[in-house]
Structure 1
Amino acid sequence: MQQTGGSTYIISLPKQWAEKVGIETGTRVSIQAQPDGKLLIDPILEGRTIKKKRIDVTGYEARALERDIIAAYLYGYDRMEFISKRILAEQKQVIRKVCYKLIGPEIIEESSNCVVIQDLLNPNELHIKKGIHRMFLIAGSMQKDAIRALKNVDHDLALDVSQRDDEVDRLCLLISKQFRSVLCGGRMPDSSETSIEEYHDFRMAASPIERIADHSQRIANVASKMQEPVREDVMEVIENLSNTYMELVQQAVDALYNADTSLANQAIDSIDGMRLRVKELHASILKLESHETMISLGMIVDSLSRIGDLGSNIAEIAINSAVKDK
């Protein structure tokens, strides 16, 4: 490092690295300060190379095609081309369905033997903390409305809850894609506010939140098949159990955002203390006259219990994340 003038330092960049990333004389670079004091040097290259993937879908089954599209999306391909002598209608339907499940990709070309998907999203548009918060809000509303649908035998509301799960999945996949890009040397969308360690911790929290949404969808699916209201005293206990778990998961998420180990430990201890209430509720369900109702409510209570366990997982991530700060 050399000093020039009274307040400016000059450093030289390693030639091998500069050549590898395409930096030449006159190339602009950005320098971003990180939360831990490090400086991130990022080349600003004009005309970024578009990553392309071509897939021959001849003989592809629907599920295999769906998995390959999602894998290519997570890997960061900007443009995906699907070719065959004749692309089947079922295969086109799968491509459209997967595009709906992902944030960014859109079909820009389509013919009898070729379909082209282009990712139109700027990855810097979604900060991971905002994405996780959005996932949590949707998952929480799903759980609340799923229990309401059960209580009021509201099949339309139950269907609405099930459909909301798609949005949580879309956000989770986008966050996974962004994190993979960061690991491969891509620019972090919110690097001035979030360190790579924090990014990792929030990415870890996305999975249990996505699973909470899955269990809320499961409760809604059960509610959509119920024809008679649940007995009032049993429904009251289920409702109270759900509300308590919602509050404890909220505590776990707050602990993650605020690096609060005390709050995270409180959430874990409280969730562990709920096991007796769950056991008692299962016992009361077994006393119901209808065998079908027993099975349905048993599934719902099991999902609520698992939501609590997932809240514990988030709280543990919060503790692991907060330790390094302390």
Structure 2
Amino acid sequence: MGIKTGTRVSIQAQPDGKLLINPVIEGRSIKTKRIDVTGCGAKALERDIIAAYLHGYDMIELFSERILVEQKQTIRRVCYKLIGHEITEENSNCVVIQDLLNPNELPIKKGVQRMFLIAVSMQKDAVRAFKTIDHDLALDVSHRDDEVDRLYLLISKQFRSILCEGGMPSNTETSIEEYHEFRMAASPLERIADHAQKIANTALKLQEPVNDKVMEEIDKLNAAYTELVKQSVEALFETNISLANQVIDNVDNMRAWVEELHESILKLKSNEIMISLGTVVDSLSRIGDLSSNIAEIAINMAIRDR
């Protein structure tokens, strides 16, 4: 580490009682990644930028003899997905993206909590948009998925930074083990938002109203799964084993209900409604499975802390 007699170091207490000693390097060098985008398609360019973001580069320089307009549009679109990264320089052959975020500004627990709140609101509004054939609300739900994706990428980046740099952000009460488990919980929350977006996209294609009796059952199913998602996140934050086990048992018990709904849907006359309702029920069922995943993570955390 280059530490010698007289070297200035910082000493930071960790949540588990360990002391982290870091050399205080004046004028820390900026980590820069240069990427040649010549002939690079939109999807490949997006993957390269996100990979550089997750690796924690402070500056990403994209260069070519001539950066195409389509490539610049892709770069701007990807930057919107990345919290803290902004385009700070742009010309015909170079685009510079710089990280302007202080990692201490959004602790991982707040990030996960924010993901949960957005995902649950998406789930509720997606089913409401489907029920009322509200295309404007469905489109709004679909757009909200971008915010969940941004938070998920930020959490992944923060966790990787901790693993590689060997230290926790300052002013945090979260241990490395908790960081790992909250990072794991962020994944099913991101998938819950994806399924809410899938329901919203199904609502966008819907043209005729759904049978009231079937829709009433779907409303009840959605309310039950929404409550299970809430309980799983509560169990995670409170390391509540009893509540987590209750969530898992309730998800298992609801499988028969889901099968009955699928059978009712198959009796409908309209193929459009049948396919759309099948998609909605399937996504809600998968949201239930994802709440079980979060509950299992909560149990792992609680067992470790006992």
SS in 2 for 1:86: coil
User: Does 1:64 find its partner at 2:44?
Assistant: yes
Shift of 1:23: 6.4
Q: Distance in 1 between matches of 2:44 and 2:294?
A: 32
Alpha-carbon offset, residue 124 of structure 1 = 1.4
- Cα separation, 2, equivalents of 1:31 and 1:226: 56
Cα deviation, residue 42, structure 1: 3.1
Alpha-carbon distance between aligned partners in 2 of 1:59 and 1:152, rounded to the nearest angstrom: 46
Consecutive unaligned residues of structure 1, counting only runs of 5 or more, are: 1-16
Aligned to 2:228: 248
- The equivalent of 1:277 in structure 2 is 257
Q: Which of 1 and 2 has greater Rg? A: 1
Q: Does 1:27 align with 2:12?
A: no
1:320 to 289, 300, 303: 300
CA gap 1:156/1:192 in 2 versus in 1, 3 angstroms: closer
Q: Please name the residue that 1:137 is paired with.
A: 117
Deviation of 1:25 after TM superposition, in Å, equals 1.5
Give the partner amino acid of 1:85: E
Give runs of ≥4 in structure 1 deviating > 4 Å: none
- 1:62 Cα shift? 1.1
Match of 1:117 in 2: 97
Contact 2:258 2:285 in 1 (8 A): yes
The aligned counterpart of 2:173 is 193
Equivalent residue, structure 2, for 1:227: 207
Distance of 1:282 and 1:322 partners within structure 2 = 36
Decide whether aligned partners of structure 1 residues 111 and 24 sit closer, same or farther in structure 2, where only a CA change above 3 A counts: farther
SS in 2 for 1:30: strand
Once the two structures are superposed, residues 285-326 of structure 1 have per-residue CA deviations (whole angstroms, 9 ceiling, x without a partner) of: 111110111011000000000000000000001111111101
User: C-alpha distance in 2, partners of 1:23/1:133?
Assistant: 43
Of 137, 162, 176, the match for 2:156: 176
Supply the distance in 2 between the matched residues of 1:37 and 1:172 (Cα, whole angstroms).
29
2:208 and 2:185 map into 1 onto residues whose CA distance is: 37
* Equivalent residues of 2:181, 2:297 under 8 A apart: yes
Q: In 2, distance between residues paired with 1:185 and 1:81?
A: 22
1:30: Cα distance to partner?
3.0
Identical columns (%): 70
Partner amino acid, structure 2, of 1:142: M
Shift of 1:191: 6.1
Q: Tell me the CA shift for residue 186 of structure 1.
A: 4.8
| Greater mean deviation of Cα atoms: 196-205 or 54-63 | 54-63
The answer as to whether partners of 1:101 and 1:166 remain within 8 angstroms in 2 is yes
Quick one: structure 1 residues 250 and 24, their matched pair in 2 at CA, closer, same or farther if it must change by over 3 Å?
farther
Residue 38 (structure 1) shift: 2.0
Partner of 2:282: 302
User: The residue matched to 1:298 in structure 2 has which SS?
Assistant: helix
Aligned-partner SS, 1:63: helix
Unaligned 5+ segments in structure 2 are: none
2:219 is equivalent to residue 239 of structure 1: yes
Conserved 8 A contact 1:126-1:189: no
Cα displacement string for residues 41-66 of structure 1 (whole angstroms, at most 9, x for unaligned residues)? 23333212110011111111111111
Query: Any idea what SS the aligned residue of 1:161 has?
Result: helix
The CA distance in 2 between the partners of 1:260 and 1:204, in whole Å, is 17
SS state at 1:184 partner: helix
Aligned counterparts of 1:113 and 1:192: Cα–Cα separation in 2: 41
Q: Is the 8 A contact 1:85 1:113 kept in 2?
A: yes
Pairs aligned (count): 306
CA gap of 1:68–1:316, structure 2 versus 1, over 3 A, is: same
Corresponding residue for residue 287 of structure 1: 267
Find out whether 1:100 has 2:80 as its counterpart.
yes
Say what the alpha-carbon RMSD is for the aligned residues: 1.3
Give TM-score scaled by structure 1 length: 0.91
- 1:289 and 1:318 mapped to 2: Cα distance? 43
Instruction: Classify the secondary structure of the residue corresponding to 1:60.
Output: coil
Take 2:165 and 2:301, find their aligned partners in 1: how far apart are those partners? 22
- Distance in 2, matches of 1:155 and 1:54, equals 42
Give the TM-score of the pair, scaled to structure 2: 0.97
